[in-house]
Amino acid sequence: MRFGPEDMTPPPEHDLRPARPAQLQINQTGSWRGALDFDQADTPPELLAAADQMARLCGQHTTMRLVARVPNGSGGLVATRFVLMHWSREKGWVKS
């Protein structure tokens, strides 16, 4: 294997940002369900707009939240109860 100046090129700036793992959760029946795992550092704002539109098509009592995810000790990530944002039909997305 050969290493040269082309291999020393730093990664794009967005690759240098720390990961911010999160999970979108939805509640339609009284309990929170994980709907989507993602990295907030790489997610476009359109994700929240799309989730808003989908939830408005669901029942009147639908709520959503974004929670942080942390390492689980075996190489994966697990959702926490630390709420980053929450959504309601009346207010939309609100930072917690």
Write out pLDDT tens, residues 61-77.
999 999 999 999 999 99
Position 6 in a domain: no
pTM of the model: 0.79
Position 2 in a domain: no
Position 9 in a domain: no
Position 5 in a domain: no
Position 13 in a domain: no
Per-residue three-class SS string for 23-90: EEEEECCCCCEEEEEEEHHHCCCHHHHHHHHHHHHCCCCCEEEEEEEEECCCCCEEEEEEEEEEEECC
Kindly tell me the burial class for residue 15, based on how many C-beta atoms sit within 10 Å of its own C-beta (0-12, 13-18, 19 or more).
exposed
Domain of 23, in residue numbers: 18-95
Position 34 in a domain: yes
Position 35 in a domain: yes
Domain count along the chain:
1
Confidence of residue 7 (pLDDT cuts 50, 70, 90): low
